Amino acid sequence: MAEQYTRREVLQTAARGATLVGLGGVGAFLALKAGREGVWQLDVERCVNSRHGAVGVPVCDKCATTCVLALSAVRAVNDHAKCGRCYICPAYFDIKSAVGPDGLPSHKLCPRDAIVRTVIGDFDPRDPANNYYEYVIDETKCNGCGKCVMGCKEPAGLGSIRLAVRYDLCVDCNRCAIASACPDDAYARRPLDA
């Protein structure tokens, strides 16, 4: 059975972590957390927003709405090595919205405008669809609502965006509120890199 911690112990751990981070010891902070019984982690193979085959189903926003922090410890992460750098990214644009005069969907998908789209390299205005675009998540705005993750998933996208817990923000609750609410049992405390 998993060891339970008192609220005082959690706060002491968080306080020690904040001190270590302040000293530039992010690695030490993670080692401190992971050395006990691991850290809360999100399994992308289970989460409905990233799980292959779960298409045409509602987006789950419980990572955004149930974390005890005002702005969830969960964020979207774009794996740029997998990203197609698409002209019309189905995670950035609401591809169901009307097409505007510029030939692009008129609305963005992210409700918090947390994805930044920039053109890469020399831009050819005569053929914008033939250029490449970089999509970067603004972590100060993202709350892990999962919409972009579902939008990027195959077959619409390449599945380069996933949700992940920010270990430096998570206060390591004894019983993670997201784990309790998660309909897919995608949350577990595991050693780092497990």
Query: What one-character DSSP code corresponds to residue 129?
Result: G
**Residue 62 touches ligand SF4, criterion: CB under 6 A:** yes
The helix, strand and coil proportions of the chain, stated in percent and rounded to the nearest 5, come to 25, 20, 60
How far is Cα 55 from Cα 41, in angstroms, rounded to an integer? 23
| Strand spans (E) along 105-186 | 115-120, 132-137, 161-165
| Choice between 124 and 168, CB closer to ligand SF4 | 168
Q: Which 154-183 positions form the footprint of ligand SF4 (CB under 6 A)?
A: 163, 165, 170-173, 176-178, 181-183
**Residue 83 touches ligand SF4, criterion: CB under 6 A:** no
Query: What one-character DSSP code corresponds to residue 47?
Result: S
Report the DSSP pairing between strands 115-120 and 39-42: unpaired
Q: Which 124-153 positions form the footprint of ligand SF4 (CB under 6 A)?
A: 137, 142-148
Least distance between ligand SF4 and beta carbon 131 (Å): 22
Closest CA to 184 of 70, 46, 74: 46
Q: Which of 9, 94, 134, 184 binds ligand SF4 (CB under 6 A)?
A: 184
| Choice between 65 and 131, CB closer to ligand SF4 | 65
Residues that bind ligand SF4 (CB under 6 A): 40, 42, 47-49, 60, 62-63, 67-69, 73, 76, 110, 112, 114-115, 137, 142-148, 163, 165, 170-173, 176-178, 181-184, 186-187
